[in-house]
Amino acid sequence: MFSLRQKSNLLGIDISSSAVKLIELSKTGKKYRLESYHVVPLPEGAILERDLLDPEPIGEAIRRILKNSGTKSRRCALGIPSSVAISKIISLPASLSGVDLETNITLEAEQHIPYPMDEVNFDFEVLGESKHSSESIDVLLAATRSENVEARVAAAEIAGLKVEVVDLESHSLELLFSTLVRDVHDLDVVAVVDFGASMTGMTVFEHGKVTFSREQAFGGKELTEEIMQRYGLSFEEAGYAKKTGDLPEGYIPEVLDPFRDNMVRQVNRFLQFYYASTQQAMVKKILLSGGSASIPGIDEQIQASVNIPTTLVNPFADMSLSSRINPSRFTNDIPALLVATGLSLRGFD
């Protein structure tokens, strides 16, 4: 899951519950440039929460995104949702190497993975000396059921892509934030809350490393469905109206405000889970991502509730853009593009 044979531009393809997102980055020296990007919505029901039900419509969506983005690359990295994967740091004797190390990792994996080993894809990365003992090394173990990988690879291959990397979404976010987001370096503990279409998650970075990750079934789709029912619109019409704000008087106090209140409750709940699971330092800043993060005023409302500085994340602040990218449209899409960007960064590992 972590191997990459060739270093060059790599398409980051994020298959979320409501859309496919593409990012292509290039790098000159230490400077990154956004070469192409695009977002294509998925048909309703193509993905149930984070389970890819049928590769065919996903593959067709990827085919459209390749055409619309204008990219010439056909090499890609795909993400696996953390909710359908296992990620664990294990400690092993530092004296192990080569075959002995791999044998011990396999034995450890069998203890931590609750499925038969012939039904999973797993890989590992040696992180270095353990924090707890100079005689041990920490190893990052990542695993998921093979069907989760195979369905996504099949969708990419339908569109004519060659899959070079399959990584966990949480790992791609870790790479993104450690590479492009200053707050993760400047502050001890930063929480990233991602408001997706059907799932919302919080990832906590302590000194640039992921130490907590959790997802809950909640997202922007609930707001879309409430608009559908209240105003008698189709799902597509409701989604468009939500985006443009072209809705009857009373929409904000009757529909949007209750949804924003629910978003705030989700953040409070995540923080409670985090503090209950760790004795580490308090969260110093919250960064918001995902489509619903762009709802006006939600950052200020969350900040007022949890008393933690809260803002939308922008990993592209110091990045130049290709002339074929519309800056204004791109700015609106930024909160939804983090996973795809982290996956594209795998091309420069």
Is the Cβ–Cβ distance between 215 and 195 less than 8 Å? Answer: no
pLDDT in tens, 40-54: 988 877 777 667 878
Do 273 and 198 share a structural domain? yes
Q: How high is the pLDDT of residue 149? A: 92
Do 217 and 334 lie in one domain? The reply is no
Q: Are residues 263 and 201 in the same domain?
A: yes
Tokens representing 341 are 């960007």
Residues 28 and 163 in one domain: yes
- Please give the model's pTM, rounded to 2 decimal places: 0.81
Do 158 and 54 fall within a single domain?
Answer: yes
Are 71 and 194 within one domain?
no
In this structure, are 124 and 165 located in the same domain? no
Q: Are residues 121 and 159 in the same domain?
A: no
d(CA 33, CA 292): 26
Q: Supply the range of the domain harboring residue 231.
A: 224-249
Same domain, 195 and 301: yes
Same domain, 204 and 101: no
Amino acid type, 79: G
In 218-330, at which residue ranges do the beta strands (DSSP E only) sit?
A: 285-289, 310-312, 320-321
Q: What is the CATH number of the domain that holds 108?
A: 3.30.1490.300
Number of structural domains found in the chain: 4
- Name the pLDDT band for 4 (thresholds 50, 70, 90): very low
- Measured distance CA(49)–CA(41) in Å, rounded: 15
pLDDT tens across 282-333, in order?
A: 899 999 988 899 899 999 999 999 999 999 988 998 899 999 898 888 988 8
Residues 205 and 346 in one domain: no
Note the pLDDT of residue 79: 93
- Residue 168's nearest CA partner among 346, 5, 48 is 346
